[in-house]
Amino acid sequence: MAAKSIVKGGQVLLAEPFMLDPYFRRAVVLLCEHHDQGSTGFILNKTIDMNVNDLMVDFPDFDAEIFYGGPVQTDTLHYVHNVGDLLEDSVKIAEGVWWGGDFETLKFLVSSQLITSDNIRFFVGYSGWSGGQLEDEMEIGSWVPADMDANYLFQTKPTQLWSKVMYNKGDLYEIISDMPEQITWN
């Protein structure tokens, strides 16, 4: 029997290279919550051709692109940032990474230019798993867990993220990181 993968909040999950699910193909998911009742996370590397002001008219003028967080509740907006306690009621996910926080305070910090687009990522929808579902997917090899690094979120181009995180895992994963997305046979 294979050893069970340990899954915990604050990790990233990399879609295995041949995953066909269009929502998660080559996805890097920040796992924010993981417990017996289920798991919640956000896809970090799938942008939507929209700006935060396209979605919220009462938000201060702010040049921040929107990311597709996942296929669950796509009528909701979430945010992950690196400003920590400056944004009240936010939850620390990993070193240098916080989730949510008071929305009115967020608007004030944005309008005061204390938060810039380099400090925050907005997500439409989220990725969710019911209790035990993620463990089952891990057991069949759908996901590769990796440590989260705030630089993945705030310093790495989304189009390069899957390959970078895979490469940083070392060994066999370095080889996998170079695999083309579409493999054709001659």
Residue 32: pLDDT band (50, 70, 90) is very high
Q: What is the pLDDT of residue 2?
A: 43
Mean pLDDT across 162-177: 82
Domain that holds residue 92: 12-177
Residue 180: pLDDT band (50, 70, 90) is low
Inside any domain, residue 2: no
Inside any domain, residue 139: yes
Q: Is 171 left (phi over 0), alpha (psi -120 to 50) or beta?
A: left
Inside any domain, residue 69: yes
Mean pLDDT across 175-180: 68
Whether this model's pTM surpasses 0.85: yes
CATH number at residue 95: 3.40.1740.10
Q: What is the pLDDT of residue 181?
A: 65
Residue found by looking up tokens 């390069």 in the block: 160
Residue 175: pLDDT band (50, 70, 90) is low
Inside any domain, residue 6: no
Q: For the chain, what is the domain count?
A: 1
Inside any domain, residue 125: yes
Inside any domain, residue 36: yes
Residue 4 predicted with pLDDT over 90: no
Q: What is the pLDDT of residue 17?
A: 86
Residue 1 predicted with pLDDT over 50: no
Cα radius of gyration (the chain): 17
Inside any domain, residue 4: no
Q: What is the pLDDT of residue 182?
A: 61
What pLDDT digit, counting tens, does each position of 41-71 carry?
999 999 999 999 999 989 999 999 999 999 9
Inside any domain, residue 148: yes
- By CB atoms closer than 10 A (0-12, 13-18, 19+), residue 56 is middle
Q: Give the separation between CA 184 and CA 177, rounded to whole angstroms.
A: 17
